[in-house]
Structure 1
C-alpha cells in the first residue's frame, strides 16, 4: 500500500476499513493516524467516535466486537489498536487472542468502522496469517526512516508549510545542528519560521543563532573539521565543549564512534552496499550514513583504521593517567590533521 494513494483516498472521503501501520518512525506514523482521524471524524464527535485498545491488555475479539457495533450518532468511528504480538513478533503476553475472529472480519470489514493497528517495529512477522491477509487486502503501510534525500525533501516541505523557504545549505546546517529526529526537527522548524516571518528565507546564520547543538552534534562538527583539514576550527570546537564542562573522555568516545562509522560505511559501500542498505546494516539513520560516506570518501580504509588505532591508544593513555586529558585531545586533533595533510600530498 502506498502512502500517497492512501492520503488521496482519505481526502476523497474513501478511507479503508483497516490499516496496519508499522515502523520505527513514530512521528510520521502518529501524524498519519491523526490525519485519518481529522478527515473521518468531526472534532465535536470524537468523544463518541474514537476508542483505543492495546492488545497487551485486551483480546482482539473485544476489538472486533467494537468494530461490529454500529456507531452512535456518527457516520463512522475510528478504533486505534496498539499491537506488538498479532502482527509483529513481540513476546506473547497473558492475553490469548482469537485471531481467527480478526481474519474473518478482515475479509469483510464494515465501512462504518476504521480499525487502525499501530505497530512500532521495524518489520512485521511475515509468517503470521494476519500479516499475509493484511498485505493481500492492501492494509499494510510502513513508516521506516526516510532516506537522506527524502529527509531533505521533508524539511523543505515542512518549512514551506509555514510560509517560509530554506536554502540547501540551510537544510544541511539544520540537520547537522538538530539531528534527524523528526519531532525535534519539526519544533526547530517552527521556531525558525516564527523568527524569520512569513515569506522569509531561513539562512545558516539564523540556524546557528537559534539552535543550540547537542554534545553529539558538536563532536560531529569537530570530526567534520578534522576530515576537512580545518585543525584550527576543530580545536575551537573542542575548547568550546570543554568550557561547557564536557568530560574529555566522553568527547573522545564520541570521536571514536564517528570514526568507526566512517570506516564501517567505507567498507560496506566498497562491497556495493547502497547507503540505505548500509544504514539498515549498521542501525543508523540513512542521513547519518550519507554524511559519513561524504566524510570518508577521499580516504582509504587503511587510513581510517590507523586513525581508530591512534584513538584507541590515546583513550588508554587518558584513562590510565599517562597523558593530560585535554592535552591528549589537542595532540590527537593535530596529529590526525597532520596525517591527513601527509596523505593528501602522497
Structure 2
C-alpha cells in the first residue's frame, strides 16, 4: 500500500491531506522526503511544521488556507495528532476545535498539502474525527515491514541509492543488520557509496561492510548450536568474545532465544501460522520464519533440557572467579542429542 502511494507521489499526483500513523518513523521521513521532491519549486521556507501537542489544530488550518508566498503550494507537517488516539489520564495541553477540522477536511485548501502525523500504534476508531480524517485523507499506516514487503523495500532503497540488490541478498542483509528501517537505510547508503552509486550489493559486500549486531550474532550462535554445528558455534562465540561480549550476558541472550524456539514450536503444533506466532509472541515475523524453516531444531523436551543446563551455567558463571569464557565454551562443545 505504501509503495503504491509513493509511486503516485513520484508521478506528481499529490493529495491535499495525508495521515501518517504507526510506529515506523523512517516511513514518515521517507514519505515527507518524497513529497518535498515531488512538489514543484518547494523550498525550506515553504515547509511549515506544527506540534499539535503545543499548538491547536486551528493554526494548521489557518496556515493551510493562507496563500503561499511566491510558490504554488506549501507543505505543512502537523505532528503528534493525539486527538486521534484514545484519551489517557494525562490532561492535554491544548484544546483542538475538531468541528472546524471536520468541516475543513471536507474542503481542504488547494494550495497546501497537509500531513497529519499520529505516531501511535493504534488510533481510536470510535472517535468521529478519526473516521472523518480517514475518509478524506490519504492514509499511510507505517506498520513494521515484514517478509516480501521488507525485502521489496530494501531493493527499492538500494535502487534509490543507485545500486541493486537481489531478494536473497536482501534477506541476508536483514539477517546481518536486523529489520529496523532507519538502520537498514544507513547500511544501504554506506554500501552504495562503497560501490560508487553503481553496482550490485552482494553477500560479500554485506559481509565486509555491515557490522553484525550482538543480538543477530547471538541468534546465529544459538541457531548453530541447536543445529549441532559445533565448529560454527565455537567460531561465532570466539568472535563475540573478541568484540567484548561477556559470557554471562551471552548466556542470558542464548536462553532467551531457546525459550523463543520452545514457544514457536508449541504454537506451531497448535496450528498457528507465522504471522499469528509473531503477533502472539511480540517478535518480528522474520525471526519466526527462520525458526520455522530450521529442520534441525531439537524437540521441545530437548530445548527445555538446554534451558536447564543454561540456568546451571549462569549460576556457575556468577559464582566462579576462574576463566569464565571456558565454562560456556565447554557447554557448546558437548554433543547435542535431538
Match of 1:280 in 2: 279
Structure 1 runs of 4+ aligned residues shifted over 6 Å read: none
Q: Distance in 2 between matches of 1:297 and 1:29?
A: 40
1:121-200 correspondence runs (5 A):
121-197=120-196, 200=199
Give CA-to-partner distance per residue, 1:128-153, whole Å, 9 cap, x none: 21111122235322011112222122
Q: Distance in 2 between matches of 1:14 and 1:191?
A: 31
Cα deviation for residue 306 of structure 1 reads 2.6
Residue-pair matches, total: 336
Match of 1:50 in 2: 47
Match of 1:326 in 2: 325
Q: What is the SS of the residue equivalent to 1:86? A: helix
Give the gaps of 5 or more residues in structure 2: none
Q: Is the 8 A contact 1:263 1:296 kept in 2?
A: no
Cα deviation for residue 69 of structure 1 reads 1.9
Q: Is the 8 A contact 1:27 1:183 kept in 2?
A: yes
Match of 1:60 in 2: 57
Q: Distance in 2 between matches of 1:143 and 1:5?
A: 13
Residues 330, 163 of structure 1: alpha-carbon distance in 2 compared, 3 angstrom cutoff: same
Q: What is the SS of the residue equivalent to 1:19? A: strand
Cα deviation for residue 155 of structure 1 reads 2.0
Q: Distance in 2 between matches of 1:236 and 1:111?
A: 62
Q: Distance in 2 between matches of 1:279 and 1:241?
A: 27
Give CA-to-partner distance per residue, 1:257-286, whole Å, 9 cap, x none: 221222222233333333223323333222
- Greater shift, 145-154 or 50-59, is seen at 145-154
Q: Is the 8 A contact 2:81 2:116 kept in 1?
A: no
Q: What is the SS of the residue equivalent to 1:94? A: coil
Cα deviation for residue 119 of structure 1 reads 1.7
Residues 93, 155 of structure 1: alpha-carbon distance in 2 compared, 3 angstrom cutoff: same
Residues 222, 161 of structure 1: alpha-carbon distance in 2 compared, 3 angstrom cutoff: same
1:224-239 correspondence runs (5 A):
224-239=223-238
TM-score under structure 1 normalisation? 0.87
Q: Distance in 1 between matches of 2:60 and 2:105?
A: 12
1:204-215 correspondence runs (5 A):
204-215=203-214
Q: Distance in 1 between matches of 2:322 and 2:273?
A: 41
1:325-344 correspondence runs (5 A):
325-335=324-334, 338-339=335-336, 342-343=337-338
Taking only aligned residues, the RMSD between alpha carbons, in angstroms, comes to: 2.5
Residues 309, 174 of structure 1: alpha-carbon distance in 2 compared, 3 angstrom cutoff: same
